[in-house]
Amino acid sequence: MKSCLYLLLLSSLYLSTNVSAFEAKTDKKAEEQRLFSIGLNGNAMLRFENETFAVRNPRQRLRFIGRVGLTAKYAEFTFVSRLSTGLKNRQNVPAITVIKFNSQPQPDSDIFVERLFMQYRTKPLTITVGKQPWAFANQTDTFWDRQLNPQGVHANYQFGSGDQARVAWLKPLDGATDTVGKLVIVQYETSIPLAQGKLVLAPWWVDYQGGSAQFAKRDTQYDHQSLRFSGAYETGLWRYGVDAGYTLDAPELISGNKQNQSLAIQINYGKLKKQGDYQAHLRFFRTERFGVISEFAQNATAGFATANIKGFDTRVRYKISRSVWIGVRYSQLDTITGTVESSHRFRIETAATF
């Protein structure tokens, strides 16, 4: 009888040990599954453009932008890769021309790796390494075209609910396989709650050491140091924003005229979050020749320049479903100094995300 009880006790102990081990293994596997995820994402845009110029031939064309990416997450790490259409050696141009409605050159139609980076995120600190999107607090693309994804390291430290600092060491792209110069940026952003909204203040400092380039040649040979400020007042669905810059070491190509300032004022209304929402903006800007680095500045308003320009830009988008919106955009601008040039750019566009 005692032997039976002894065997029963050993059997129970063995079974309980194996069950505990199995449960621990199952829990560990379930935990790993919760920590790891992978997903496919992308977007596509179809856009009709009608551009007229003072001294250049007009362009009417139908253009397409397509992107597809893979995002994998494990614990605090995120890995992102994304392909894009466009010009691989001028990656601020993601569109390919599908149909030309008048006589004009046919640009290349490339597919290239637009983004390839790893990100480590904890509660106060985020570090991003690789070919990454622009991640500074700006109200407009006046200084940096967000189609460009520079290589480098970016760190963001969150001090509290309304204060954060950003530091980046970046190498801007020169074509598909090379870079030009070195870019260091430091920015501090604070958010101040107000009775009817909030005030966002973000001063920043830019230091670019120029270099020689094969493709990215527009003023990238010049060193550039500038003090910049981005700010906004947000209340309800309205946002009133400003981007301003003052270059400290601009080349003085014309005696007494440094052309070293930039200013953009933009009013936004609405958010494209759900079906039936619409969003609009109105921007006025004046960007002097060396107020920005021409090669890296926004490319969405003019077909002939990104600096030494002044004018306005307006856009309206309407969300017709959870993942599709339609919109129109109009830009009008003129040169500030030198050869007189002007342009009018009108667009009708639709985009879908997945």
pLDDT at 196 over 50: yes
- What is the pLDDT averaged over residues 212-219? 95
Give me the mean pLDDT over the 115-121 stretch: 98
**Cα 305 to Cα 26: distance, rounded to the nearest angstrom:** 60
Residue type at position 268: N
The DSSP secondary structure of 17-84, one letter per residue, reads: HHHHHHHHHHHHHHHHHHHEEEEEEEEEEEEEEEEEESSS--EEEEEEEEEEEEEEEETTEEEEEEEE
According to DSSP, the residues that pair with 267 across neighbouring strands are 240, 282
What is each CA distance from 82 to 188, 300, 329, in whole angstroms?
29, 21, 26
pLDDT averaged over every residue in the chain: 90
Do residues 333 and 350 make contact, with C-beta atoms less than 8 angstroms apart? no
* Backbone region of residue 263 per phi and psi (left: phi > 0; alpha: psi in -120 to 50; beta: other values): beta
Q: What is the mean pLDDT of residues 326-336?
A: 96
> 319 by DSSP, 3-state: which?
strand
Do the Cβ atoms of 291 and 262 come closer than 8 Å? yes
Q: Quote the Cα angle for 281-336-314, to 5°.
A: 10
Q: Which residues pair with 128 in a beta bridge?
A: 119, 154
Distance CA 293, CA 289 (A): 8
Q: Quick check: pTM over 0.85?
A: yes
Percent of the chain whose pLDDT exceeds 90 = 81
Nearest alpha carbon to residue 134 among 117, 159, 121, 120: 117
Distance separating alpha carbons of residues 22 and 25, to the nearest angstrom: 5
Residue 255: what pLDDT?
66
CB under 8 Å to 64, separation ≥6 — which residues? 44, 45, 46, 47, 85, 95, 96, 98
3-state secondary structure of 158: strand
**Chain segment 36-59, per-residue pLDDT in tens:** 999 999 999 999 999 999 888 999
pLDDT digit string, tens, across residues 58-69: 999 999 999 999
Give residue 156's pLDDT: 98
Alpha helices in the chain (DSSP H): 2-35
Question: Maximum Cα–Cα distance for the chain, whole Å?
Answer: 110
- Tell me the mean pLDDT in the region 135-154: 96
- Residue-level pLDDT at 8: 34
Q: Which domains does the chain have, with CATH numbers?
A: 42-353 (2.40.160.10)
Band (18; pLDDT cuts 50, 70, 90): low
What pLDDT does residue 149 have? Answer: 97
User: What's the Cα-to-Cα distance from 267 to each of 47, 88, 211, 231, 237, rounded to whole Å?
Assistant: 24, 33, 36, 12, 11
**Other C-beta atoms within 10 Å of 140: how many?**
22
Measured distance CA(27)–CA(44) in Å, rounded: 40
C-beta of residue 336 within 8 angstroms of C-beta of residue 286: yes
Query: 13 by DSSP, 3-state: which?
Result: helix
Tens of pLDDT, residues 60-109? 999 999 999 999 999 999 999 999 999 999 999 999 999 999 988 888 89
Residue 265: beta bridge partners? 242, 284
Residues β-bridged to residue 332 = 312, 344
pLDDT band at 16 (very low <50, low <70, confident <90, very high): very low
- 225 pLDDT exceeds 90? yes
